[in-house]
């Protein structure tokens, strides 16, 4: 029997839980994390802080991105986990800002990523030029929801655009 996993996102299905009968369709956390982390570190973003969704997807995305950041010579300055459907990211963003990390990585998706990015813009997180906001999974609809002012200058990795 073949198991076709459609958009499960986790790299565990093709990693530690791999089976010869499993096929994963679309992206996983390994693919999202590696391309983005490698490019951002190569572009000078060597120290990272993660704002992570506190469930399996967010934790796997942070784990895979952290491993790649370290592998290519970057460092992790810290992380904070926010529950699904968080509306107020202010305390999390203050921790990210105070970390002194050059990169604040959003290891979340959907409305949480949009809300965190909008609030980061309101806080002026990237205004000084000392920190960059990186979305590890943003869709075109998320970029539209952010609007041009809040989306410009951001680094993001997108999944399949439907």
**Structural domains in the chain?**
28-156 (3.40.50.2300)
Half-sphere CA count of 130, side-chain side, radius 13 A: 9
pTM of the model: 0.86
**For the chain, which ranges sit under pLDDT 50?**
161-162
List the beta strands (DSSP E) in 22-162.
22-25, 47-53, 75-82, 103-107, 132-135, 155-156
**pLDDT at residue number 102:** 98
**pLDDT at residue number 162:** 36
Instruction: Please name the helix (run of DSSP H) or strand (run of DSSP E) that holds residue 133, with its range, or none.
Output: strand 132-135
**pLDDT at residue number 79:** 99
**pLDDT at residue number 81:** 99
């Amino acid at each position: 029997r073949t198991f076709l996993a459609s958009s499960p996102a986790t790299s565990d299905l093709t990693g530690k839980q791999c089976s010869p009968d499993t096929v994963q369709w679309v992206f996983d956390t390994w693919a999202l994390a590696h391309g983005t982390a490698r490019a951002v570190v190569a572009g000078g973003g060597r120290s990272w802080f993660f704002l992570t969704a506190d469930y399996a997807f967010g934790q796997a995305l942070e784990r895979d991105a952290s491993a790649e950041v370290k592998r290519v010579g970057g460092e992790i300055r810290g992380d904070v986990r926010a529950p699904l459907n968080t509306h107020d990211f202010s305390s999390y963003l203050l921790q990210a800002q105070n970390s002194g990390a050059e990169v604040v990585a959003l290891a979340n998706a959907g409305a949480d990523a949009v809300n965190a990015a909008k609030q980061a813009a309101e806080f002026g997180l990237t205004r000084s030029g000392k920190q960059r906001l990186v979305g590890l999974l943003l869709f075109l609809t998320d970029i539209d929801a952010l609007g041009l002012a809040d989306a410009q200058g951001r680094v993001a990795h997108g999944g399949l655009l439907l």
